[in-house]
Chains A and B, each alone.
Chain A
């Protein structure tokens, strides 16, 4: 702080008496209004963050406590019980979820990766690429229930029945843009040097892409694929009126309605029977476990190369 007499005064003081410059208190004290405000805000914000994370722990706790009750072999091997019946399991729904999501992956993953190759490599900077990217972003923002409405119109109405395929189509539209945009990012991360080396040796664009770029980008692409599939697994809204539900085992009929964990949880959540509600919790536990495992595995794929 400059003394009232000005800098000159302080300098003059330096020749004779030791200068007396009025330095503000540098110690942090809560008596200072500004420091107090800062500290209070910190407390409020950290508290808010803890509040924000509370639901996650509450959900996980209940899943383990309520869902864990029914955890046993019969949960995986038996069919869902009817109203008022005891026992039963969610075996067909687990199979159905895997079938539907698997089918959605078959539809969406190659599509997404090929389009991503175009976006990142061949069509980079072109107007088409811009429009494609925009379309993909619009698709990511599209409410999941609307993909169900679309699959209903395009598949259920056309084929005349609710089916596993219709469910898979609905889910694939959710998976597609995520795969495409993450794969594009991943392909862009591949160092130019590597591609140039391949091209310099006379490799065609295709050989460069398939032998150099894609293998290098693969972990990151797979992360995107797994994250999108884990999201698709938990999706319920697009399946409600496409895959519908089935009380029986999946026997290879992709043209028939199929049971899924998500729809089972929804159907049983409003049930007046404790047995079905318990199964809804158990199904939630299984679903969240599968989703988290895929999610964490996907993240682990890209984290490993970073550490090297």
Chain B
């Protein structure tokens, strides 16, 4: 028997000193970048905050309650913008939320054969992939002309209601909110679908076994169980709607007034920033930074609430398993 030349007995060996050094360095590097994320967020908030400080000292709380935005007289107030932001987002949320939950139900409760269900899920995702500026363009050339007729009719016949007491002159709250609702729909649909899929099968089957119809099961079992997740989805979508810029800047009319009429032009914080920033002077930039800070605060609060609800929703689900 010829003995084979002794080769390395095993391919494993302890790391060399160089490898240990590289290892330390690499671990350190990832640690640095992880920290950098925190620093970046802090830096963003600091940068926006520090540029807003002069305007904050100058205008104080009047900024939030003031209603004029006049760069020439250096008079700045964002109440109409705050109201406009909340108003358009709420309308979008009602429409987009209802449609989104409907889509989520269709996509999670066995209405469609699996192939179609998968296809439709992808189509909803595509809806989210279309850039907002394209929706804005579509809004100008499709939504505004389409809603003009019905808006005119509503104004003629129901003009005594505060929601319809002006004419639609073109851009306005309604077209902006409609387009915004399309943009929040995929968020609501995707997250609330997740919540509905997470409802344990045995709960649904138990309901069916008791003789409940499909909709008795959905309304009595699935939706209540998934309610926290759906609510979280709606709050997160609200956060998204508050910060959405382009579709609103293109469709809301950019008038620094607020009215309850759906057909009147208005403005939002984000579209105020988009419209005034490019050619703002030094003083106006300060005021715009203040406005950005207000927007940051509003979206931050809404998003943190949304995230907390989502976390509680998923821990509640775990109890059911």
Chain A residues near B (Cβ < 8 Å): 34-35, 37-38, 41-42, 44-46, 48-49, 51-53, 55-56, 58-59, 62-63, 66, 111, 114-115, 117-119, 121-123, 128-129, 131-132, 135-139, 141-150, 152-154, 157, 173, 176-177, 180, 200-207, 209-210, 230-231, 233-237, 240-241, 244, 262, 265-266, 269-270, 280-281, 284, 287-288, 291-292, 295
Contact = CB atoms under 8 A, between A and B. Distances in A.
Given A38-B214, A56-B126, 7 more contacts: A49-B102, A115-B33, A128-B34, A132-B34, A138-B303, A141-B239, A202-B12
B142 interface: yes
Interface in B21-39: 22-23, 26-27, 29-31, 33-38
B295 A143 contact: yes
B188 to A, nearest CB: 10
Interface string B246-278: 100110000000000000000000100110011
Interface residues of B, number: 87
Q: Name the prevailing secondary structure of the A interface residues.
A: helix
A123 B136 CA distance: 43
B129 interface: yes
B277 A152 contact: yes
Contacts of B240: 141
A265 B278 contact: no
Contact of B51 (A35, A44, A48, A153): A153
Interface string B122-142: 011011011111111110111
A51 B99 CA distance: 8
Interface in B296-321: 296, 299-300, 303-304, 306-307
Contacts of A131: 38
Nearest to A294: B129
A59 B134 contact: yes
Contact of A114 (B29, B99, B105, B303): B29
Given A118-B31, A146-B295, A202-B15, A35 B41 contact: no
A206 B26 contact: yes
Contact of A265 (B29, B133, B289): B133
B123 A53 contact: yes
Instruction: Name the 7 nearest CB pairs between A and B, nearest first.
Output: A143-B243, A234-B131, A48-B102, A141-B303, A237-B245, A201-B12, A204-B23
Nearest to B107: A49
B228 interface: no
B111 interface: yes
20 contacts: A38-B214, A42-B111, A49-B120, A53-B127, A59-B134, A59-B135, A141-B307, A142-B299, A143-B244, A146-B243, A204-B20, A207-B23, A234-B129, A234-B133, A236-B131, A237-B132, A237-B270, A265-B133, A265-B134, A265-B137
A210 to B, nearest CB: 8
Contacts of A177: 37
B292 A149 contact: yes
Contacts of A231: 129
Contact of B19 (A204, A234, A240, A288): A204
A145 B249 CA distance: 11
B294 to A, nearest CB: 11
Contacts, number: 263
Interface of B: 11-15, 19-20, 22-23, 26-27, 29-31, 33-38, 40-41, 43-44, 47-48, 51, 98-100, 102-103, 105-106, 111, 120, 123-124, 126-127, 129-138, 140-142, 182, 185, 189, 213-216, 218, 236, 239-240, 242-246, 249-250, 270, 273-274, 277-278, 288-289, 292, 295-296, 299-300, 303-304, 306-307
B138 A59 contact: yes
Contacts of A206: 19, 22-23, 26-27
Given A38-B213, A149-B273, A205-B23, A288 B47 contact: no
A59 B130 contact: yes
A52 B185 contact: yes
A201 B12 CA distance: 4
A105 to B, nearest CB: 16
